[in-house]
Chain A
């Protein structure tokens, strides 16, 4: 794992990821297992991969994703990080969703329970922005953003044509509470070729994404897809709260015509 000279024998993160998913040939898997027996650092990494994998696999399908937080907050809105594309520009108002998020986190953390990472509300053609549970939830599960980011970065090196990893990256984008992890997923997805049906999910993720900087990255991704995402880009170009996103979308739209 480490790049320092004394640790050159460590397998790459990509190989450890394959090992964690049981995808190595038997002889290579045996070598990896032997290495893990003697390397606490790599063992911890693989353990982290396993926890993240289990957590993501436990998520419900996107269309029916659980909304523990929504059930408590009642609206799916309110986080100070949220920026619906149609909202007014400028600094966002303080929101009450933080309290609900913190309360959920407090309950979940105190109970030692991992709640769902996402709270997507599907209300027809205009996606609602997401509400994410607070940080301690992921810490309570032993799955920090640092670990998840490491997994996503490793996945990015794993092979552009693996549909299971593409699906994982899209689900990360749809559900992960950390904007840094979602950005890494976007970067990894940019080097893949999602299926046509997956572009629709990326377009939805673009409309739901709270971070303007990630919306910029997603615009490039969506613009490269079938049809160039013209309708969504047009909407963002005229309505997004962030001036850079409006300009970026307009440029992408112009280039796609």
Chain B
């Protein structure tokens, strides 16, 4: 496997000067970064290629980071360095063999960018999310904020607990399907286009005067009277808009 220089930026704006409580072994590093619960929502920025990456929300006020070698051969793990409000990880080795799991306060705004053959999973986040991947999928679960997600050659599977009062929601990929699961009472303006099929569990009321696509398949219209704009686009694959199953009643 080729060696490459890489860099990781983990930026939590509200964590500017906090030192982590950290532990490291040869194949695992973990750290906890406190955030200011009364301040602005923290921001997390991850920018690195070839990561297997998952981010999930939790009810606490700190950010937990776990990095783990998942294959033999990775001798050392990068050590985070705080500088100017940015937690930087610099390591002149492969990241191909590393998995990163991050737990953040639910209100955190998240921006992730990675690439190539590793999936990204984000779950239980109420803040806004920007995520970009390539050659692999993006899985989004239990979201409540604005989402801008793009990849290529990988599926996007996004499920919202509720739609944000203001958008945007934008899901874009190529050569792979998009599955969007919305709550039963979702109210939105939908613009979904592909050269294959678009299927929806929801009735979509057409918008008068909206242009028809020159070719391909498009579903444009209002769900539940209209609301936040949802834009979905792929090619060479289907788009599926699903209605979320109702939650089982609590005992």
Question: What residues on A are CB-neighbors of B195 within 8 Å?
Answer: 216, 244, 247-248
Residue A231 interfacial (CB < 8 Å): no
Across the interface, A102 reaches (CB within 8 A) one of B6, B109, B130, B211, namely B6
**Which stretch of B26-34, B61-69, B98-106, B110-118 is in the interface?**
B110-118
B150 touches A178 (CB 8 A): yes
Are B83 and A110 in contact, with the CB atoms below 8 A? yes
Asked whether A7 and B165 contact (CB < 8 A) given A99-B4, A212-B174, the answer is yes
Question: How many angstroms from the CA of A213 to the CA of B211 in the assembled complex?
Answer: 18
Q: Are A149 and B135 neighbours in the complex by a CB distance under 8 Å?
A: no
- Residues on A with C-beta less than 8 A from B112 are 135
Q: Which of B64-112 contact A (CB under 8 A)?
A: 83-84, 86, 88, 109, 111-112
Residues from chain B with a CB closer than 8 A to the CB of A41 are 166
Closest chain A residue, CB of each to CB of B84: A110
Chain A residues near B109: list those with CB within 8 A: 144
Q: A102-B7, A106-B9 are in contact. Are A211 and B172 (CB under 8 A)?
A: yes
A-chain residues with CB within 8 Å of residue B168 when the two chains form the complex: 146, 149-150, 153, 180, 184
Q: Which residue of A lies closest to B163 (CB)?
A: A3
B6 touches A180 (CB 8 A): no
B11 touching A81, Cβ below 8 Å: no
Interface flags for A220-252 (1: CB within 8 Å of B; 0: not) read 100110000000000000000011110110011
Cα(A243)–Cα(B216), bound, Å: 14
Whole-angstrom distance between the alpha carbons of A220 and B149 in the complex?
23
The yes or no answer to A179 lying at the interface (CB within 8 A) is yes
Chain B residue, CB-CB nearest to A216: B235
- B135, A91: Cβ atoms under 8 Å? yes
Expressed in whole angstroms, the Cα–Cα distance for A245 and B234 within the complex equals 11
- Tell me whether A187 and B174 are in contact (CB under 8 A): no
Q: Counting CB contacts under 8 A, is A46 at the interface?
A: no
B83: min CB distance to chain A, Å: 6
Complex CA gap A248/B213 in Å reads 12
The contact of A146 among B45, B128, B152, B213, by CB within 8 Å, is: B128
Residues in A neighbouring B144, C-beta threshold 8 A: none
**B49: interface (CB < 8 Å):** yes
A181-216: CB near B (< 8 Å → 1, else 0) gives 101100100110000000000000000000111101
Residues of B within 8 A of A223 (CB): 214
Question: Do A242 and B235 touch (CB < 8 A)?
Answer: yes
Instruction: Name which residue of chain A comes closest to B7, CB basis.
Output: A102
Provide the residues of chain A in CB contact with B5, threshold 8 Å: 99, 103
Residues of B within 8 A of A191 (CB): 211
Task: Write 29 A-B pairs (CB below 8 A) sorted by A numbering.
Answer: A2-B166, A80-B116, A81-B152, A91-B135, A94-B50, A98-B49, A99-B6, A102-B9, A110-B86, A135-B113, A136-B9, A178-B132, A178-B150, A179-B150, A180-B168, A180-B231, A183-B231, A184-B168, A184-B231, A211-B172, A212-B236, A213-B174, A213-B233, A213-B235, A220-B214, A223-B214, A224-B214, A244-B235, A247-B195
Q: Which 10 pairs from chain A and chain B are nearest by CB?
A: A180-B170, A212-B174, A244-B235, A2-B165, A244-B236, A135-B113, A220-B214, A179-B150, A98-B49, A102-B7
Residues of B participating in the A interface, judged by any CB pair closer than 8 Å: 4-7, 9, 11, 43, 45, 47-50, 83-84, 86, 88, 109, 111-113, 115-116, 128, 130, 132, 134-135, 146, 148-150, 152-153, 165-168, 170, 172-175, 187, 191, 193-195, 211, 213-216, 227-229, 231, 233-236
Interface residues of A (CB under 8 A from B): 1-4, 7, 41, 80-81, 91-92, 94, 96, 98-99, 102-103, 105-106, 109-110, 112, 134-136, 139, 144-146, 149-150, 153, 178-181, 183-184, 187, 190-191, 211-214, 216-217, 220, 223-224, 242-245, 247-248, 251-252, 255
